[in-house]
Amino acid sequence: MLAQTIRKKLGKAAKEEKGFTLIELLAVIVILGIIAVIAIPMIGNVISNSRKEADLATARQLYDAARLYVIGEANGDYREHTKVTLTELKAGNYVDQNIVLPSTKAPLVEATTLINFNDDGTLLNVVLDPHAADITDGTYTATKILTE
């Protein structure tokens, strides 16, 4: 009864009320803000991890191309090809001519992007140049390439 009297004095009848109150709108905005605070860092981590994985996949592809290069060009004799450059892989068409580092979209430098093997053909490491900011020298170890 009291509520109806107050509504009549304020000029609003109960049936004419439409829309949301300011408090309801503020509550929704606060809830959306909390969700954003939680979700944005998670999305950032997903993007960062996918960039790292893409760079690792590129290193793995270069390793596979270098193995094919040594088998095709040197009959599998790794003693003469312990260090394979991107220049050699491109010359033999073992990799795309426009290969880039996925995380930065920067073209790989032909002379300093290296795949290093032992004399017996065991992978030592792959060096990508330029490298992503979170990799100190662009070197991916054999363990990382072959197991992850």
Distance of CA 77 to the CA centre of its chain: 35
Predicted TM-score (pTM) of the model is 0.72
What is the CB-side half-sphere exposure of residue 121 using CA atoms within 13 A?
Answer: 12
pLDDT in tens, 52-95: 899 999 999 999 999 999 999 989 899 888 999 999 999 999 99
Containing 101, the helix (H) or strand (E) segment is strand 100-101
Model pLDDT, residue 148:
77
| DSSP-H helix ranges across the chain | 2-10, 22-74, 86-91, 142-147
Are 73 and 92 within 8 A, CB to CB? yes
Token code pair at residue 15: 């049936």
CB atoms closer than 10 angstroms to residue 9: 8
